Structure 1
Amino acid sequence: MIVTVLRCLFLVFVIILTIGGNVLVCLAVGLSRRLRRLANSFVVSLAVADLLLGLLVLPLSATVELRSRKWPFGGTLCNIYISLDVMLCSCSILTLLAISVNRYLAISSPLSHSRIVTPQRVTLAIISIWLLSLAAAFLPIHLGWNTADYRVQNLDWGIGDEDKEEHYCQYEWNNNYVLIYVFGTFYLPLLLMCGMYLCIFRVAREQVRRIRATTPSFARSASLTIVQEHKATVTLAAVLGAFIICWFPYFTFFTCMGIREKTIPANTLHSVVLWLGYFNSTLNPILYPAFNRDFRRAYRELLRCRGPPRRKLQLAHMSVQKPLAFINGIKVSAQSKKNIDTVKTESEKSPTLYEENSPDESR
């Protein structure tokens, strides 16, 4: 009983954290001017995929875990559930591939990056990623490509049939199809991303060496942009590393089960590697502020809900104080020209005026 309660609390915590964190990412990019950049469109797309996973897939997965992995909702909904799971996972890795390509172009060709990566091309890339993920997920399952006899799986299930017969809602794997699917949607994009980031770090290291060898005036103008691009690269490399750690065990397990002649019902190991993969959608919103100052700042402003107004009031207060102090200083200097004794008297009456102006004059 205690173990079941702890499992329930853990699953609910993961779901809430996944939904809340990815909503926060979307709001941060949408409301913060510093994050409202073209490259962050891919970050929002990744956050939307993780958010949909938390809303549509994780509650059903948690229900299955708490019901001893039995599926109570019928075969049609099982196929839709599996398709959504596969689609959102494929969308995540393809988005990460697009992010790595964008990073490579930003680091290797910073001058021509804005001409290559245009808003129209970014929009087309994001739409293509979602359509390709949709096709790769729904077509094989609903056309029977993944089963040994090429028939659509689970069509003979009815709602509530788990009481009569044990039904486990999982992907059925045909030996040839599973190898093509896993290689095309995971291992090949993963190899491309790793190679892309290796090239990125080589180019970044070469740029740092060149900046140090240039004149100070050029270094000041070029280093700021390069440093910002390098910080974004480190952030997205951490996101990629978390994706590999979370999803590589599942796809390895998926491949090993696929080369068997018969699909084995879900067991504890399957649940562990599956939820480890799901946990990647929880980690992404945590990794952004951990490696990116702009995201940390946007998160604080969203959570406090008073950050930006206070800053604006402070800036307005300072902008009003400085002209007043300047005007008062002019008045005092004019009086000092007329009568030195009057200046001494004024300084004794209001010494704080000169104390406030002295630091500005020293600057």
Structure 2
Amino acid sequence: MNECYYDKQMDFFYNRSNTDTADEWTGTKLVIVLCVGTFFCLFIFFSNSLVIAAVIKNRKFHFPFYYLLANLAAADFFAGIAYVYLMFNTGPVSKTLTVNRWFLRQGLLDTSLTASLTNLLVIAVERHMSIMRMRVHSNLTKKRVTLLILFVWAIAIFMGAVPTLGWNCLCDISACSSLAPIYSRSYLIFWSVSNLMAFFIMVVVYLRIYMYVKRKTNVLSPHTSGSISHRRTPMKLMKTVMTVLGAFVVCWTPGLVVLLLDGLNCTWCNVQHVKRWFLLLALLNSVMNPIIYSYKDEDMYSTMKRMLCCFSQEKNPERQPSHIPSVVLSQSDTGGSQYMEDNSNRGQVCNKSSS
């Protein structure tokens, strides 16, 4: 019967993995990683909070796509929390952790990153459903969207909790990986392959969308006016899709390949010296998601801009009286009551005053 090592500190497992990387990351490298990670996390908290607030605030966004977008922002926000916890438990501190604290550290990362990835996949499927039916939004009900969101988090929590629940090497020390000293190599293979499969599905879905939109554009463009063609141009969607795919490939593939190589027990691949950089690269995807999915959406961008405008005016209240009354008076001559009804929202008043 194999001996179990639940009561050991993490230094026991790090020493068995024949690596001193945890000690090497105490100088300039660790400072750079922490500084870059801190900047990323602050941006993640700020930008994803704006996305969630915009979806809640603007009724134009009360549709399935934007609910999923808000859930993606929540997953990326959680990724920032997970990385903050990691930053306080990395470097030389890693060897002082108990097994349970190390499981918590890695479980938070696995849960948050899997949630972001699964959200991207669900959004891709939702976009496919909408575009194939020539609709701006899919006909998913709120109940179905809620079930999808719950499914996303169930998958993410499951993937993060599986090692803690038993798929680890605490009772089979010879099966321990190098990058994650108490994870079984078989689990790393399962985790990396499943995520790479999700990536492949995303590629297929977006390529199908691209081919469909390109075909429809060629058929309909001679029969559409210039203004409509410009407003609904599929090239805009195509650029967004290619940006999403490019960001995902750049940010995720290197880390997943390294995990797969470690799971396959590649002793000559030297995976230890790149793991933290690839973790930062994966975190960068959570930074880029609000930019890709929000900035390229004109309504989302304008809503976030109005929110920032209002926040700025709240900090400088002396600017408000000189703008707001003039706007209200100028509109009162031509349908002022309609203006007050449609623009009683503070954010919309900010937008009028800024223009």
| Paired position in structure 2 for 1:41 | 67
8 Å Cα contact 1:170/1:266 also seen in 2: no
1:305 equivalent among 310, 327, 341: 310
Residues 1:282 and 2:287 aligned together = yes
8 Å Cα contact 1:82/1:171 also seen in 2: no
8 Å Cα contact 2:61/2:67 also seen in 1: no
What's the CA shift for 1:173?
A: 4.3
**Using the alignment, how far apart are the partners of 2:268 and 2:188 within structure 1?**
12
| Paired position in structure 2 for 1:28 | 54
Compute the TM-score of the two structures, normalised by the length of structure 1: 0.70
| Paired position in structure 2 for 1:177 | 187
Aligned pairs (5 A) from 1:45-56: 45-55=71-81
SS in 1 for 2:88: helix
| Paired position in structure 1 for 2:110 | 86
| Paired position in structure 1 for 2:83 | 58
What's the CA shift for 1:136?
A: 2.1
Letter in 1 for 2:329: H
Could you report, residue by residue, the CA deviation over 1:279-301 in whole angstroms, capped at 9, with x for unpaired residues? 21122223334422222212211
What's the CA shift for 1:190?
A: 0.8
| Paired position in structure 2 for 1:187 | 196
| Paired position in structure 1 for 2:350 | none
Could you report, residue by residue, the CA deviation over 1:3-54 in whole angstroms, capped at 9, with x for unpaired residues? 7655543332222112112111111222223333321111111111111121
**Using the alignment, how far apart are the partners of 1:145 and 1:199 within structure 2?**
37
Letter in 2 for 1:182: S
Letter in 1 for 2:264: I
**Identical pairs, percent:** 21
Letter in 2 for 1:98: V
SS in 1 for 2:274: helix
Gaps (5+ residues) in structure 1?
155-167, 325-363
1:266–1:299 CA distance, 2 compared to 1 (3 A): same
8 Å Cα contact 1:175/1:261 also seen in 2: no
8 Å Cα contact 1:235/1:292 also seen in 2: no
1:100 equivalent among 124, 132, 135: 124
**Using the alignment, how far apart are the partners of 1:277 and 1:106 within structure 2?**
29
**Using the alignment, how far apart are the partners of 1:134 and 1:181 within structure 2?**
13
What's the CA shift for 1:177?
A: 3.4
What's the CA shift for 1:201?
A: 0.6
1:19 equivalent among 33, 36, 45: 45
2:333 equivalent among 321, 329, 338: 321
| Paired position in structure 2 for 1:204 | 213
**Using the alignment, how far apart are the partners of 1:113 and 1:300 within structure 2?**
23
Could you report, residue by residue, the CA deviation over 1:247-305 in whole angstroms, capped at 9, with x for unpaired residues? 11111111111111789998431111111111211222233344222222122111121
Letter in 2 for 1:288: Y
**Using the alignment, how far apart are the partners of 1:143 and 1:107 within structure 2?**
41
SS in 2 for 1:147: coil
8 Å Cα contact 2:261/2:269 also seen in 1: no
Compute the TM-score of the two structures, normalised by the length of structure 2: 0.72
1:9–1:187 CA distance, 2 compared to 1 (3 A): closer
8 Å Cα contact 2:179/2:259 also seen in 1: no
Structure of higher CA gyration radius: 1
Q: Which is further off, 6-15 or 267-276?
A: 6-15
1:75 equivalent among 96, 99, 104: 99
Letter in 1 for 2:59: R
**Using the alignment, how far apart are the partners of 2:305 and 2:205 within structure 1?**
33
1:205–1:9 CA distance, 2 compared to 1 (3 A): same
SS in 1 for 2:180: coil
8 Å Cα contact 1:147/1:174 also seen in 2: yes
Q: Which is further off, 194-203 or 268-277?
A: 268-277
1:171–1:298 CA distance, 2 compared to 1 (3 A): farther
Could you report, residue by residue, the CA deviation over 1:164-207 in whole angstroms, capped at 9, with x for unpaired residues? xxxx99364434333233222x1111111100000101111122
SS in 2 for 1:70: helix
Please tell me the root mean square deviation across aligned C-alpha atoms, in Å.
3.6
8 Å Cα contact 1:250/1:273 also seen in 2: yes
Letter in 2 for 1:319: Q
1:264–1:316 CA distance, 2 compared to 1 (3 A): same
1:306–1:175 CA distance, 2 compared to 1 (3 A): closer
Aligned pairs (5 A) from 1:205-354: 205-214=214-223, 226-227=232-233, 231=236, 234-235=239-240, 237-260=242-265, 267-305=272-310, 316-322=328-334
